[in-house]
Structure 1
Amino acid sequence: MAANFKAEIGKRWSLHGTTALVTGGTRGIGKAIVEELAGLGAKVHTCARNEADVEKCLQEWKSLNLTVTGTVCDVSSREQRENLIHHITSLFQGKLDILINNSGTSRYKNALDFTAEDYSFIMSTNLESAFHLSQLAHPLLKASRSGSIVFISSVAGLIAIPSFTVYAITKGGMNQLTRNLAIEWAKDNIRANAIAPGPISTPLLELYFESKNDLTIEAIGVPMARIGEPVEVAALAAFLCMPGASYITGQKWKDEGKLRTVEGTILENSWSNKKEVATPLLE
Structure 2
Amino acid sequence: MFLRSAGLTGRRLLSNQTQARRMMSQGSLSGKVAIVTASTDGIGLAAARSLAQRGASVMVSSRKEENVERAVKQLRSENLSVSGTVCNVGDAEHRDCLVTATVQQFGGVDILVSNAAVNPFFGHMLDCGEDAWDKIMDINVKTAFFLTKLVVPHMEKRGGGSIVFIASIAGYQPFTGLGPYSVSKTALLGLTKALTPELSPYNIRVNCVAPGLIKTRFSSAIWKNEDVAEEFLKQQSIKRLGVPEDVGGVVAFLCSSDAAFITGETIPVAGGMNCRL
TM-score, normalised to structure 2, is 0.85
Residues 229-274 of structure 1, C-alpha deviations (whole Å, 9 max, x = no match): 1101111111111112111100011157886xxxxxxxxx429xxx
Residue aligning to 1:147: 161
| CA distance in 2 between partners of 1:78 and 1:213 (Å) | 40
Give 1:215 deviation, angstroms: 1.7
Contact 1:154/1:198 (CA < 8 Å) preserved in 2? yes
* Residues 223 and 213 (structure 1), Cα distance of their counterparts in 2 relative to 1, 3 Å cut: closer
- Unpaired runs of 5+ in structure 2? 1-19
Residue aligning to 1:215: 228
Contact 1:47/1:72 (CA < 8 Å) preserved in 2? yes
Q: Secondary structure at the match of 1:203?
A: coil
Contact 1:12/1:243 (CA < 8 Å) preserved in 2? no
Which has the higher mean CA deviation after the structures are superposed, 99-108 or 43-52? Answer: 99-108
Q: Does residue 266 of structure 2 align to residue 270 of structure 1? A: no
Match of 2:64 among 50, 62, 79: 50
How large is the RMSD of aligned CA atoms in angstroms? Answer: 2.4
| CA distance in 2 between partners of 1:17 and 1:42 (Å) | 6
Paired residues in the alignment total 255
Q: Secondary structure at the match of 1:253?
A: strand
Residue aligning to 1:104: 117
| CA distance in 2 between partners of 1:92 and 1:256 (Å) | 34
Contact 2:213/2:232 (CA < 8 Å) preserved in 1? no
Residue aligning to 1:239: 253
TM-score, normalised to structure 1, is 0.83
Contact 1:13/1:244 (CA < 8 Å) preserved in 2? no
How high is the sequence identity, in percent, across the aligned residues? 34
Which has the higher mean CA deviation after the structures are superposed, 115-124 or 59-68? Answer: 115-124
- Unpaired runs of 5+ in structure 1? 1-5, 260-268, 277-283
What is the identity, as a one-letter code, of the residue corresponding to 2:71? C
Residue aligning to 2:265: 251
* Residues 228 and 256 (structure 1), Cα distance of their counterparts in 2 relative to 1, 3 Å cut: closer
| CA distance in 1 between partners of 2:271 and 2:257 (Å) | 30
Residues 168-207 of structure 1, C-alpha deviations (whole Å, 9 max, x = no match): 1211111011111111110000000001111111112112
Give the 4+ runs in structure 1 shifted more than 4 A.
255-259
What is the identity, as a one-letter code, of the residue corresponding to 1:77? D
| CA distance in 2 between partners of 1:257 and 1:68 (Å) | 30
Match of 1:25 among 27, 39, 62: 39
| CA distance in 1 between partners of 2:78 and 2:24 (Å) | 23
Q: Secondary structure at the match of 1:57?
A: helix
Which structure carries more helix by proportion?
A: 2
* Residues 36 and 257 (structure 1), Cα distance of their counterparts in 2 relative to 1, 3 Å cut: closer
What is the identity, as a one-letter code, of the residue corresponding to 1:270? C
